Amino acid sequence: MTQDEMKKAVGWAALKYVMPGTLVGVGTGSTASYFIDALGSIKHKIEGVLSSSHTSTAKLKNLGISVFDTNEIDSLDIYVDGADEINDYMQMIKGGGAALTREKVLAAISHKFICIVDITKKVNILGKRPVPVEVIPMARSYVARELVKLGGTPKYRQNVITDNGNVILDVYHLMITDAVALENQVNQIAGVVTVGLFANRCADVALVCTKNGVKEVIL
């Protein structure tokens, strides 16, 4: 299986968690996009979805799936999304698609977070890939200096404005030995909207696709 075939297999495998008549939280990215295709095949059986980005919303609406306003919904049974990295503790780096803040909100209101990844995303220690940080534009330089103090090397993601009108700093070389502590620390920097570390609210289930098929890991 190619990486793309693994993404597709795991996206469709997540369908078994979708209960009839429920609202489903939907993530962003190429793996989540396969999950959206899968949801389209059972669209008459679900009530609708909450979406984590304009991109996912456009695809969902195109398939005729009802997208609700997150402010009108108290909680979700499940939230299904990909990740850039996931470790054995189900902690993740997310935000490769710049949708980290809305993703974190949907994860926060969900009873179960189902992370769908191919095996290339599985790591022992988080931090091989950069950690995205969403920042309000006028605080970009200040936040970058604070991130350097934490040992990181921030890089401004050129030509990207998030759905919330902000910018992204991708932070390389962070030593992530305590992901919860680092998430809290970065979130305390003035001007940071969200850090793409999902450690306080980690995944409850990981569906990991290898060349041999999809394996379910439960915390």
Kindly identify the residues of this chain, within the stretch 32-71, that bind ligand 5RP according to CB under 6 A: 32
Beta carbons within 8 Å of 166's beta carbon, 6+ residues apart: 101, 134, 135, 136, 137, 193
Structure-token pair, residue 44 = 């008459």
Judged by CB, which is closer to ligand 5RP: 120, or 141?
Answer: 120
28, 57, 110, 194: which one binds ligand 5RP (CB under 6 A): 28
Task: State the burial class of residue 48 (Cβ atoms within 10 Å of its Cβ: 0-12, 13-18, 19+).
Answer: middle
| Residue with Cβ nearer ligand 5RP (117 or 147) | 117
By CB under 6 A, the residues from 172 to 211 that bind ligand 5RP are none
Point out the catalytic residue in the list 5, 47, 85, 103: 103
Q: Is 9 in the site for ligand 5RP (CB under 6 A)?
A: no
Closest CA to 202 of 126, 92, 46, 120: 92
Nearest residue (CB) to ligand 5RP, 28 versus 51: 28
Q: Report d(CA 7, CA 116) in Å as an integer.
A: 8
Q: Contact region for ligand 5RP (CB under 6 A) — 61-69, 96-104, 144-152, 203-211?
A: 96-104
Plot region of 161 (φ>0 → left; ψ -120 to 50 → alpha; else → beta): beta
Binding residues (CB under 6 A) for ligand 5RP: these are 27-32, 81-84, 94-100, 103
Residues noted as catalytic: 103
